[in-house]
Amino acid sequence: MSETTSPRPYRSYVYAYPHKTAYRALPDRPSLGALWEAEPKDALSLYAHIPFCEVRCGFCNLFTRIGAPDELSTRYLDALDRQATAVREALGDRAPVRFATAAFGGGTPTFLTAAELERLCDIAEKRMGVDLRAVPLSVETSPATATTDRLALLAERGATRLSIGVQSFVEAEARAAVRPQRRADVEAALGRIRDTGVPVLNIDLIYGIDGQTEESWRSSLDAALAWRPEELYLYPLYVRPLTGLGRISPAADRAWDEQRLRLYRYGRDHLRAHGYEQVSMRMFRRTDAAPLGPDDYACQTDGMIGLGCGARSYTSALHYSFDYAVDMREIRSIIDAYTETEDFSRVEVGRWVDAEEARRRHLLQSLLQAEGMPVAGYEERFGSSPFADFPVELGRFEALGWLDADAPAGLLRLSPEGLAYSDGLGPELFSPGVRAAMAAYEPK
């Protein structure tokens, strides 16, 4: 690929680095206590993963299964409780332990009953020591599970953000994405969320669905805007191996790339015209929405505690999780093994992160934010310049017009075209080692 040949815009959705398909079983099974002993613990982030859904969307490759028979959700929460106890013990008491953010994701956390959600909150507070009413708490939900009792419980326990995956307000498009739903049910769920008074409503929409047009895309955008959500996420559709759509859809081609780019640009401009600022390629925030969260937490730093199957944890030296799968049989097997686990004091699966990978991660996750990366912050953290560390990659981005030539001095920022190509740009920053591990990964 020549210096100015643009890669395809939709290569990989990059939201964490190294990618989960680069993780491997760790023969030495390091102990949590040793891993966390010297780590900063004053601005940790907690994520709890609930791997259950009422239906599996055709595009979904997340770690989730349909339903929870035979009291599986109870057994899962029992295991989550045991894991949280082990993790909190590993964090120790030598230095203050403080959490800056918390999130429940999945899957669909509100698949759990209100009583089970209360237990999940208790685990976060009583086992991990998170004051859910004092930190931002984000919870994912769905139209079918956003019931009054569940939402009221979450609001009472301190939820500050409820995120609902609508994907499309057009019923035919929802069916095409293998997500059958009635618009009336979606609107009713949004009404119930607004009734809770939780300060941030986020609505997820997808573009690139089969049969979607600019007109139907605008219809979904306007339907979402009618609720004045504080946040909107616009996701490109991906067709991945072992998913419902992956079994029936042809491979992506240039025409589909162009369709998605066209719809992305339309959606971006439409939201900007209606009072939203762009935070990243996917995220848009209403300009008059009150800010949430501490000013000392940044996504580039480490200190993530993940509980449950599908959750990742980050220290400065190791990113780790449990085994990952997409196929439903494999997922069921992994969840069953998790619920039977008694000893959570050691790490089974992960990837070590050396100094070079830490630099790549910081650059990648900073650059994919619309506000860009202060060069001085990078230099202070790593003692080197990003231009010296990544001359080839940044030179290529500049040649492609992906860097903002008008950015203030000392700020490395993407141009509007660079943001549009975030899913092509991100993988350009992957190290050779991570690329090789991802290429060798066998989907299961």
Residue whose tokens read 């949590």: 32
Nearest to 222 by CA among 288, 273, 173, 171: 273
Residue 352: how many CA atoms within 13 Å on its side-chain side?
Answer: 8
- Residue ranges and CATH numbers for the domains of the chain are 22-286 (3.20.20.70), 355-440 (1.10.10.920)
Assess contact for 35 and 347: CB atoms under 8 A. yes
- Determine the Cα–Cα distance for residues 13 and 411; give it in Å rounded to an integer: 24
Amino acid at 96: P
Q: Can you give the chain as a three-state secondary structure string?
A: CCCCCCCCCCCCCCCCCCCHHHCEECCCCCEHHHHHCCCCCCCEEEEEEECEECCCCCCCCCCCEECCCCCHHHHHHHHHHHHHHHHHHHHCCCCCCCEEEEEEEECCHHHCCHHHHHHHHHHHHHHCCCCCCCCCEEEEECCCCCCHHHHHHHHHCCCCEEEEEEECCCHHHHHHCCCCCCHHHHHHHHHHHHHHCCCEEEEEEEECCCCCCHHHHHHHHHHHHCCCCCEEEEEECCCCCCCCHHHCCCCCCHHHHHHHHHHHHHHHHHHHHCCEEECECCEEEECCCCCCCCCCCCCCCCCEEEECCCCCEECCCEEEECCCCCCHHHHHHHHHHHHHCCCCCECCEEEECCHHHHHHHHHHHHHCECCCEEHHHHHHHHCCCHHHHCHHHHHHHHHCCCECCCCCCCEECECHHHHHCHHHHHHHCCCHHHHHHHHHCCCC
Q: How far is CA 199 from the centre of its chain?
A: 20
Nearest-angstrom CA–CA distance, 204 and 197:
19
The pLDDT, as a whole number, for residue 403 is: 98
Pairing of strands 283-286, 231-236: antiparallel
User: How many CA within 13 A on the CB side of residue 217?
Assistant: 26
Which among 335, 329, 330, 298 has a CA at the least distance from the CA of 314? 298
* 8 Å CB contact between 108 and 62: no
Q: Per the structure block, which two tokens stand in for 347?
A: 């790490």
Can you tell me the distance from the alpha carbon of 301 to that of 98, in angstroms, rounded to the nearest whole number? 15
**pLDDT, one tens digit for every residue, the chain (444 residues):** 444 566 789 888 888 899 889 999 999 999 999 999 999 999 999 999 998 877 655 445 566 667 677 898 999 999 999 999 999 999 998 778 999 999 999 888 999 999 999 999 999 999 999 999 999 999 999 999 999 999 999 999 999 999 999 999 999 998 887 677 899 999 999 999 999 999 999 999 999 998 899 999 999 999 999 999 999 999 999 875 544 444 445 445 888 899 999 999 999 999 999 999 999 999 999 999 987 654 333 444 669 999 998 899 999 999 999 987 767 788 888 888 998 999 999 999 999 999 999 999 999 999 999 999 999 999 999 999 999 999 999 999 999 999 999 999 999 999 999 999 999 999 999 999 999 999 998 887
